[in-house]
């Protein structure tokens, strides 16, 4: 009996170690700028495919085939690498999992970039516009200081789901191959999932798959944000504004942060030179401060910690 329990406890610990190693690595290092990153490679492959295929007739079909091919291919390649490495050496397989988890998470980098936006906008509006352009897709040339701060905090909450909670969620369901496949889904959406003339048909499938992949993680993110900050009583606010958002998912973490900070997000923004109207989230259009940014980062950290512990718990139990 003793040997049975000793074996299982060791097995569970080994299962947790690569996830913890990758997660802690992200918290310590973020995304070093000069290091190779798989998402950069994903982006190059997507850009190449888009240039070759996004022309002529049947753009929806060609975009859909490319999207499914890249997502399934990413999953299978990752699975094959882990399988072969496990045959060669189990330790090598665990190291590769840890490295993969490290690259799939973006918690520290996200917080660092948002902090830099708030520091830059205190120097000058133009510096703030330049800095926020690194993390948002909207046009930033005419943003006011308040709009710069709003854009940064909206991105912080939205990417808490996309860059942290969702990857952990898919790791929980499908291991590292699922986590990597999710990053491909997210990269596809961020590059070709726009509803403009160029991508409306070609990127429609990528946008829809991203909506599906983030449906549960976005709502889980908002739930954890409220629970870990003692704001569970604001769930009606999140439900009201989350479902009113133009995106089926982004509104939930944004609404959770707006509820916690008692501020207002949303409004009309320019994308590729065209104004896009987004419903307001909240009603208190107050000036955002440096302290709000610090609070928002603490919210992200608590939410990330809660999700990480959930993943570890499920690895132990199942």
Write out the two tokens for 103.
Answer: 């690259």
Residue 260: phi, psi to the nearest 5? -65, -40
Q: Which two tokens stand for residue 26?
A: 């992200």
Q: Tell me, what's the pLDDT at 277?
A: 75
pLDDT number for residue 5: 43
**Radius of gyration (C-alpha) of the chain in whole angstroms:** 20
pLDDT, position 1? 39
Check: CB of residue 248 under 8 Å from CB of residue 217.
Answer: no
154 close to 297: Cβ distance less than 8 angstroms: no
Tokens of 294: 């610090």
* CA separation for the pair 308, 101 (Å, rounded): 12
CB atoms within 10 A of CB 66: 23
Phi, psi (deg, nearest 5) at residue 266: 90, -165
Counting as low any pLDDT under 50, the low residues of the chain are 1-7
Q: Which helix (H) or strand (E) holds 274?
A: strand 274-281
Cβ–Cβ < 8 Å for 180, 110: no
Burial of 139 (0-12, 13-18, 19+ CB in 10 A): middle
State how far the Cα of 27 lies from the Cα of 53, in Å rounded to an integer. Answer: 38
Instruction: Specify the residue for token string 């808490």.
Output: 160
User: Could you give the CA distance from residue 247 to residue 313 in angstroms, rounded to a whole number?
Assistant: 31
């Amino acid at each position: 009996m003793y040997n049975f329990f000793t074996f299982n406890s060791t097995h569970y610990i080994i299962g947790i170690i690569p996830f913890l190693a990758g997660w802690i690595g992200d918290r310590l290092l973020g995304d070093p700028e000069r290091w190779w990153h798989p998402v950069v490679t994903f982006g190059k492959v997507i850009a190449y495919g888009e240039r070759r295929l996004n022309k002529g007739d049947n753009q929806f079909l060609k975009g859909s085939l490319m999207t499914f091919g890249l997502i399934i291919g990413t999953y299978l390649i990752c699975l094959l690498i882990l399988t072969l490495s496990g045959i060669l050496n189990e330790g090598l397989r665990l190291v590769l999992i840890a490295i993969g988890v490290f690259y799939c998470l973006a918690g520290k980098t996200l917080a660092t970039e948002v902090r830099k936006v708030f520091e830059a906008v205190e120097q000058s509006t133009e510096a703030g516009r330049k800095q926020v352009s690194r993390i948002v897709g909207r046009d930033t040339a005419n943003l006011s200081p308040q709009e710069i701060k709003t854009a940064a905090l909206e991105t912080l909450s939205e990417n808490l789901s996309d860059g942290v909670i969702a990857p952990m969620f898919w790791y929980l369901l499908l291991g590292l191959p699922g986590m990597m496949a999710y990053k491909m889904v997210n990269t596809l959406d961020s590059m070709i999932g726009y509803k403009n003339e160029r991508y409306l048909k070609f990127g429609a499938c990528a946008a829809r798959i991203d909506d599906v992949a983030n449906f549960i993680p976005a709502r889980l993110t908002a739930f954890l944000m409220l629970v870990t900050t003692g704001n569970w009583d604001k769930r009606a606010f999140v439900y009201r504004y989350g479902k009113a958002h133009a995106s089926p998912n982004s509104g939930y973490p944004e609404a959770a942060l707006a509820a916690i900070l008692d501020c207002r997000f949303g409004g009309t923004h320019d994308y590729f030179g065209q104004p896009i109207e987004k419903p307001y989230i909240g009603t208190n259009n107050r000036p955002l401060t440096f302290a709000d940014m610090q609070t928002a980062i603490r919210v992200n950290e608590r939410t990330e910690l809660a999700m990480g512990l959930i993943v570890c718990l499920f690895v132990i139990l199942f």
